Amino acid sequence: MIGIFDSGLGGLTILKSLLRELPSYDYIYLGDIARVPYGSRSFDTIYSYTLEAVDFLFKKGCKLIILACNTASAAALRKIQQEYLPVKYPDLRVLGVLIPAAEEAAKMTKNGKIGVIGTEATVKSETLKYELIKQNSNLKVYQSACPLLVPIIEAGEMRWIGLDLILKKYLKPLKEKNVDTLVLGCTHYSVIKKEIAKVMGSKVKIVSEDDIIGFKLKNYLSRHPEMEKKLSKKRKRYYFTTSYSQNFTKVAKIFLKMEADFNIVKL
């Protein structure tokens, strides 16, 4: 079983990508709607919340978990991999979404100037910037925190007229730096990538994690057959949330592109 965790519903775009590329596997999705957004919280709090989610998914039978949340990946993944897994679950794995995005952006840029947008915690951690420069030390990376976007998207207000004004405000500093590649450092942003692309202009390439995680995981499993053998393949899907938000069903369908029955759980 493969677990997918996000602070809210944005990770459903990653699940959709996995279902497209790897449909035969069993999946469990967990969205921590009760505590979304994570982006304005302390790193210690994000780590604590993420650890609770990881524990829940492992106890449900997951052998591999994807943190489909850039904030959780930035604030908690390394510590979970280095300190928690070796002690509690040495044969299981937790992966993030930041490194695949960094790899793709580093390959795509022509002028070496890359923009990153994300939550306050993701930007503050500078994890994506670090991963990009690790790919190529000559890259220039410019970041912009976008604290209002996740609440707007979780509320289902993607067609709100004010969104365009907010995007212009957040993206202006990156346009002024003449970036030719923009990393959407939050899985929520994929549902407004057309709006983001419109503001940035046709010359800027957009790196959206839902476009790449599916084939990246397929590649990972081909390189780690010992993990691939542990994963069940009965095409089962389970959906969990810690709360129902307003417009929950409508927003979930927008992300996943199909209906899904969610069960409420307490972490």
Residues 1-23 have pLDDT tens digits of 999 999 999 999 999 999 999 99
Could you tell me which CATH class the domain 2-96+212-264 is placed in? Answer: alpha beta
Torsion region of 112: left, alpha or beta (phi above 0 gives left; psi -120 to 50 gives alpha): left
pLDDT of residue 250: 85
Catalytic residue among 186, 192, 207, 217: 186
Catalytic residue among 30, 53, 67, 69: 69
The arrangement of secondary structure in 98-209, i.e. its CATH architecture, is 3-Layer(aba) Sandwich (3.40)
186 labelled catalytic:
yes
Residues 6 or more apart in contact with residue 105 via CB below 8 angstroms: 114, 132, 181, 183, 207
Common-topology check for domains 2-96+212-264 and 98-209 = yes
Residues 205-246 have pLDDT tens digits of 999 999 999 999 999 999 999 999 999 999 999 999 999 877
pLDDT above 80 for 112: yes
Residues 18-75 have pLDDT tens digits of 999 999 999 999 999 999 999 999 999 999 999 999 999 999 999 999 999 999 999 9
Q: Across-strand partners of 245?
A: none
Q: Element (H or E) spanning 182, and its range?
A: strand 181-185
pLDDT of residue 4: 98
What is d(CA 236, CA 105) in angstroms, rounded to the nearest whole number?
Answer: 33
Mean pLDDT to the nearest integer, 174-187: 97
pLDDT of residue 48: 97
What is d(CA 72, CA 203) in angstroms, rounded to the nearest whole number?
Answer: 31
pLDDT above 90 for 257: no
pLDDT of residue 155: 87
- Delimit the domains of the chain by residue range: 2-96+212-264, 98-209
pLDDT of residue 247: 78
pLDDT above 80 for 169: yes
Read off the tokens for 74. Answer: 């930035």
62 labelled catalytic:
no
Residues 126-148 have pLDDT tens digits of 999 999 999 999 999 999 999 99
* Nearest of 225, 217, 250, 266 to residue 99 by alpha carbon: 217
